Structure formats: C-alpha cells, structure tokens
Amino acid sequence: MVLLNDERIAKIHCVDNKEKILSLKQRHKNILIDETRNQISNKSDLFCYARESIIKKLIEATNYLPNGYQFLIKEAYRPLSRQKKSFEEAFNYYKIQYPLKKDDEIYKVTCEYVAPVKVAGHPTGGAIDITLLKDGIEVDMGTKFNDVPMAPENLTYLYSDYIIDTAKVNRTILIDCMKKIGFANYPTEWWHWSYGDCYWAFLNNCDAIYSATDESEIYKLNT
C-alpha cells in the first residue's frame, strides 16, 4: 500500500490544465451535498466545489448506481490553510495516542489519514469525499465517514476484511461506480477518491493535471 508520504508521489510532475473549479450543487438529481458540514472541519463556502472534469465524471457515474441509490458529497475543495491545519491536528493527536513512537513514525501514521500539503488532493479541486444514500438515507459503509483508521481491523481501509457483509456490498457499489469513471481511491479511506492529482497520477504512471489552487483565485474566477 502506497501512502502519501512516499517520495515518489512528491516527485510527480504536474502541469495544471487550468480547468475551472465549480460548484457541485444542483448538477444532477442523484448527486447531493451534505450541507450540514457536521463531519468536516472545512468552513469554506467552496467545500463543495470541484474541477469541471470531476463534475462531468460524477454525472457519468450516476449511470452505474443501482435503483434507489444516490451519491452524497461530504467534501471536495479544501483550502490549503485548512489542509495544513488538519495535518498538524492529526499529527498532534497521534503523538498523544502513540507516545513511544518517533516523529517519523507519527508522520507516516498521520499520512494514513491526512495528506501532507505538498501532495494533497483536496486543495487541487480533484479530490472528493463521497458516500452513498439509499432511499434518502446514508447506507452502512462499515464505519462513519472520517473515522480514524485503527489497527488491527483498519475498518476505514477500502478493502477491510472486518466489516459486515452489508457494508461490503455498499462499498462494492461505490467502488464500481468510481473506478468505471477513472477515479483512484486512497486505500486507507473508503470515502476518498481523486482524479488528476498527484496520487492519481502516481497510480496511473502519468503527470498530474491539477495543482493546488488558492481559495481567492477560485472566488476571482467565479465572480
């Protein structure tokens, strides 16, 4: 399993294709937004914005949803300042949880849950945190969204063997939909999928096409 602290990802070449970052709201009847934001730290009004290709691909992915299912977007774009703060908060949390581990070990554990700023997908507009609804209700995915991966079960890992069969079925639906449209999953988080960022580029042996974008630039382009 390749984590985001892998130096090969930091070396990925990126030429931003300058796609716009736009709102995911009201794009399709089966793409809904969790506007409560009660499970994320992102306070930006752009939390549900994504690159144009991400939006088009998600619309395409709705064709693969079983009857009664919908996508629920928890978070998409995340400002760089928030990404940095989230990493620092997670690092400090794990340092308390694992007092005997060295800082480099804590850094690796932190990368299982939060991306380092240099290679983070959310600030590029190319990553989304997504789950499923069935008949308007969030389905069982084995853990809550944004749960912390904990050994040995690692329930948040996409292919954890320790989740119940119902959750496995629901994850399989999400996996099938997202892979068919070319998204890559970050394997420690069943909800995190990306396209065009450094992690996606590493897995696809190509250059990244989305780089981190400052929040002010998005506002400027959308006014």
- Contact (CB, 8 A) for 122 and 84: no
Residue 188 exposure: Cα atoms within 13 Å on the Cβ side: 19
| Cα–Cα distance measured from residue 223 to residue 105, given in angstroms and rounded to the nearest whole number | 44
The bridge status of strand 31-33 relative to strand 69-75 is parallel
**Residue 28 assigned as binding residue:** no
Q: Minimal CA–CA distance to 202: which of 126, 119, 123, 122?
A: 119
**Residue 129 assigned as binding residue:** yes
Active-site residue set: 189
Both tokens of residue 70? 């919908």
**Residue 192 assigned as binding residue:** yes
Sequence ranges of the binding site for Zn(2+): 122, 129, 192
